[in-house]
Structure 1
């Protein structure tokens, strides 16, 4: 009897243990399945459809430069025989900076000077003969034809002298074209050639910073250029001067398009102490300008708009809970492109959430994971 009781208790214990293990296994599988489901949700990058205000803010990249940079070059070609230029060199107006071997121009000048000297001698002789002939003619000791010939000779010699004088001036210019003097006080910011190098006419050999103020050169696209005007204020940041913001104003707006980058060049003057800013430093210019749209219009990020055979579309993101959402494909009608995105004409409302990445791989009705710490 005791033996039967022991067998019965053993069977009961075994059943109880198996039941517990089964419950634990099922619970673990459920949690694992739920965890896998969460892991499989694709994360989505989200943008917000927002209302367009009358004042827009835009930022553009450019580089710092002096407000007066002079490109130094020769007006003729030749071999560099003198080069008194180094980067950072302080120069004074009239300093000899560079000279090329212009011996041919120098020889032509010497020949012109010799021709001028000969022409001057001939003119002086003709002048004396004319005066003497005039006196003899008045006394009746010389004929009218002799007097007329003397006047003709004088006129020809005078024209020859004046021509020789102009020739000397031209040849002096040719010699000067092979010499560069500092046009004003300043600092050499760029040296582009070396001694004994063969340079051509118009080739920049150095850049002279002759200004007292720094500025930033940037380019504005055609959809922005009409929203800015001279003296508009700007906020400027220099990449290497972190956490330092400068103020400035638009001092020049080009009326024509730069064909190289399809933008309109503008120059923004930097106010205040600019000693730490050097030519060539990367800069960003931020300014506000009045838009032409009304408050009723809304904007959608450019990255949120896709296109298929049916037209333009977006994936609207609808939250389910704090961690997940469902994306729905919505066809939209968009308007003009602004610096902040497309103007939305139909399909969405201000405050709607949209996917801004991976549009070609998202599916209508797909469940996705929201970004971490997303609050809305």
Structure 2
């Protein structure tokens, strides 16, 4: 009998034991530590923008006439002197035009010589009263037309002579060829950019400013510039130029930052960062590690001083800085924000507030 009843008794016993366990108290959830900080004032908030060292004077060099490029004498990165030849067009067409203009000058001068002699003969006949005044006036007009024709043809010859010189593209100043846009054999139009010349002299940093915060920048605003080759030094500068229109592709505004000291060892093409101090513009800032987002909406975790639980707080932020982000709306100066491990928190979770040295932080509730 016991052997037949045992299979029925065991499941019942296990069910009773599980029910007894379920009636007991749940294991207490451990309270995890959370490093908390308070937002810093705007005076400690700095925005950083990447940039590139450029020449203050950058000229786009182009031929003044069209033609086929027969020679390219320099390449990108080459150092050139003023009036140095950079490229040449096929000279055959301009040579023929010059010869044609020279021949026309000769023909016009020969015609002028003929009408001058004719006028002199008619003038003698007029003095002897052997011809009428109207006959002399006709010859005189032919002579004046011949003079005007010579002046016109000589001007056309000078133009053709100048165009022969335009077949050679020369540098306008000492500097470095920043870019090259043509190859030998390519046919270019008049005014088409062939080289970009970065003239020697003052250097600047070209940066791009976001569209949503362009109102916070102005010409003459002081900034600090850091070169990637010298990360421990910051050079004073100012915004010299600010584009009035956004780039159609990136939707950013180009700005040029000049160095306060013209002797800064900045070379063309070097990477740089421009730091902008926004005093009075952004009320508060938090570490980058305190910020998270969901569906593109940024938020932070704020600790409630009453029961040390965390609550999600949506915020509106500005442009990211080097290690902090400005908060335009959503926080006050006496809030306590979780600065690390924000990805593992959940709404209403209890935490143990600590500082960066792992010391307990006593939160003071708002009155």
**What is the CA–CA distance in structure 2 between the aligned matches of 1:230 and 1:109, rounded to whole Å?**
50
> In the alignment, is residue 341 of structure 1 matched against residue 326 of structure 2?
yes
> In the alignment, is residue 252 of structure 1 matched against residue 235 of structure 2?
no
Q: Is the 8 A contact 1:213 1:274 kept in 2?
A: no
Q: Is the 8 A contact 2:310 2:347 kept in 1?
A: yes
**What is the CA–CA distance in structure 2 between the aligned matches of 1:81 and 1:341, rounded to whole Å?**
56
**What is the CA–CA distance in structure 1 between the aligned matches of 2:351 and 2:301, rounded to whole Å?**
12
**What is the CA–CA distance in structure 2 between the aligned matches of 1:319 and 1:236, rounded to whole Å?**
41
> Aligned residue for 2:364?
none
Structure 2: where are the runs of 5+ without partners? 1-26, 362-367
Structure 1 residues 130 and 64, CA gap change in structure 2 (3 angstroms): same
Q: Secondary structure at the match of 1:130?
A: helix
**What is the CA–CA distance in structure 2 between the aligned matches of 1:257 and 1:328, rounded to whole Å?**
39
Q: Is the 8 A contact 2:37 2:355 kept in 1?
A: no
> Aligned residue for 1:243?
232
Structure 1 residues 338 and 363, CA gap change in structure 2 (3 angstroms): same
What are the Cα deviations for residues 195-227 of structure 1, in whole angstroms up to 9, with x where unaligned?
x34152345443333231111111223454444
How does 1:1-376 map onto structure 2 within 5 Å? 48-53=38-43, 57-194=46-183, 196-201=184-189, 202-270=191-259, 271-275=261-265, 277-291=266-280, 297-298=283-284, 304=291, 314-318=300-304, 326-330=309-313, 337=318, 340-344=325-329, 348-354=331-337, 363-367=346-350, 373=357
Report the alpha carbon displacement of residue 292 of structure 1 after superposing the two structures with TM.
5.2
Q: TM-score, normalised by structure 1?
A: 0.69
**What is the CA–CA distance in structure 2 between the aligned matches of 1:285 and 1:313, rounded to whole Å?**
27
Structure 1 residues 281 and 301, CA gap change in structure 2 (3 angstroms): same
Q: TM-score, normalised by structure 2?
A: 0.71
Q: Secondary structure at the match of 2:101?
A: helix
Q: How many residue pairs end up in the alignment?
A: 325
Structure 1: where are the runs of 5+ without partners? 1-32
Report the alpha carbon displacement of residue 52 of structure 1 after superposing the two structures with TM.
3.9
Aligned Cα root-mean-square deviation (Å): 4.0
**What is the CA–CA distance in structure 1 between the aligned matches of 2:358 and 2:89, rounded to whole Å?**
68
Q: Secondary structure at the match of 1:243?
A: strand
Q: Secondary structure at the match of 1:242?
A: strand
Q: Is the 8 A contact 1:228 1:289 kept in 2?
A: no
Report the alpha carbon displacement of residue 160 of structure 1 after superposing the two structures with TM.
2.7
**What is the CA–CA distance in structure 1 between the aligned matches of 2:339 and 2:115, rounded to whole Å?**
93
Q: Is the 8 A contact 2:55 2:200 kept in 1?
A: yes
Q: Secondary structure at the match of 1:273?
A: coil
Q: Is the 8 A contact 2:47 2:319 kept in 1?
A: no
**What is the CA–CA distance in structure 2 between the aligned matches of 1:368 and 1:69, rounded to whole Å?**
58
Report the alpha carbon displacement of residue 256 of structure 1 after superposing the two structures with TM.
2.9
Q: Secondary structure at the match of 1:244?
A: strand
Q: Is the 8 A contact 1:94 1:183 kept in 2?
A: yes
Structure 1 residues 131 and 306, CA gap change in structure 2 (3 angstroms): same
**What is the CA–CA distance in structure 2 between the aligned matches of 1:229 and 1:111, rounded to whole Å?**
57
Q: Is the 8 A contact 2:202 2:262 kept in 1?
A: no
Q: Which moved more, 1:222-231 or 1:354-363?
A: 354-363
Report the alpha carbon displacement of residue 64 of structure 1 after superposing the two structures with TM.
0.1
**What is the CA–CA distance in structure 2 between the aligned matches of 1:61 and 1:241, rounded to whole Å?**
15
Q: Secondary structure at the match of 1:255?
A: coil
Q: Which moved more, 1:202-211 or 1:101-110?
A: 202-211
**What is the CA–CA distance in structure 2 between the aligned matches of 1:260 and 1:188, rounded to whole Å?**
26
